[in-house]
Amino acid sequence: MITLDDVKKNPEVDALILGAQKQLNALGYTEHGHRHISIVSKRAGDILEKLGYPERTVELARIAGYLHDIGNCVNRVDHAHSGAIMAYNLLKEMGMPVEERTEIMMAIGNHDENTGSAISDIGSAVILADKSDVHRDRVVNKNLSTFDIHDRVNYAVTNADLTLDENERKIVLKLTIDTKICPVLDYFEIFMDRTMMSKYAAKYLKIWFELIINNTKLL
């Protein structure tokens, strides 16, 4: 069976990840490279593992999380769709069964808040993992005077923890935002769609989603 380790060792996958980040650097976007995809991969798998899903389902979630942003190598627009097809073909060449690579394709194709929906367990885990990675480490531009709102909000987040209580069936995203850099309201201005997508993804998994910012429960 194809594992996450196999995917990580595939030079074609690595080239696509590097190419995607190169393009986003040119566009001035936040980091979507190895740091981000590794976090999403681990979080997606951890969510399903804690909820008691089979080991293979957990591994597929980790693979989907690792590959979810390769479509940025084509274009930022519709990157979820192009990335889903690319991942399907890559995994086919690697010998993954059609049922498994179809699940991964569905998850990747639905992770973007502009066009996606929570349509599967693996997809929902990837959504929660992806949308929870808000942190100053993602800001590529280090010139504060030129920050746009995305840079400013991400840079203002000094700590971001995603925790799951499997007994209470509750997942909590706890953020610490430096309000000297940006007000909390700015977070909702750009992340409201992502927050609601996370809520629906949690609902698909039959758990509750909570958002806590600076020790205040907001959702």
pLDDT in tens, 1-33: 999 999 999 999 999 999 999 999 998 889 999
Residue 185, domain CATH: 1.10.3210
Domain housing 142: 4-217
Contact indicator for 153, 119 with CB cutoff of 8 Å: no
Quick check: 77 pLDDT over 90? yes
Pairing of strands 170-177, 216-217: unpaired
Percentage of residues in the chain having pLDDT higher than 70 = 100
Contact indicator for 131, 113 with CB cutoff of 8 Å: yes
State the DSSP code for 160: E
Task: Give start and end residues of each alpha helix (H) in the chain.
Answer: 4-8, 11-27, 34-50, 55-67, 79-94, 98-109, 121-131, 149-156, 184-204
pLDDT of residue 24: 92
pTM of the complete model = 0.96
Pairing of strands 157-165, 170-177: antiparallel
Residue 8's Cβ-count burial label (10 Å; 0-12, 13-18, 19+) is: middle
Per-residue pLDDT tens digits for 168-214: 999 999 999 999 999 999 998 889 999 999 999 999 999 999 999 99
Per-residue pLDDT tens digits for 124-143: 999 999 999 999 999 998 88
What would the mean pLDDT of 63-76 be, rounded to a whole number? 97
pLDDT of residue 141: 85
Domain count for the chain? 1
Residue that has been written with the tokens 């992806």 in this structure: 130
Q: How confident is the model at residue 149 (pLDDT cuts 50, 70, 90)?
A: confident
Average pLDDT over the chain reads 95
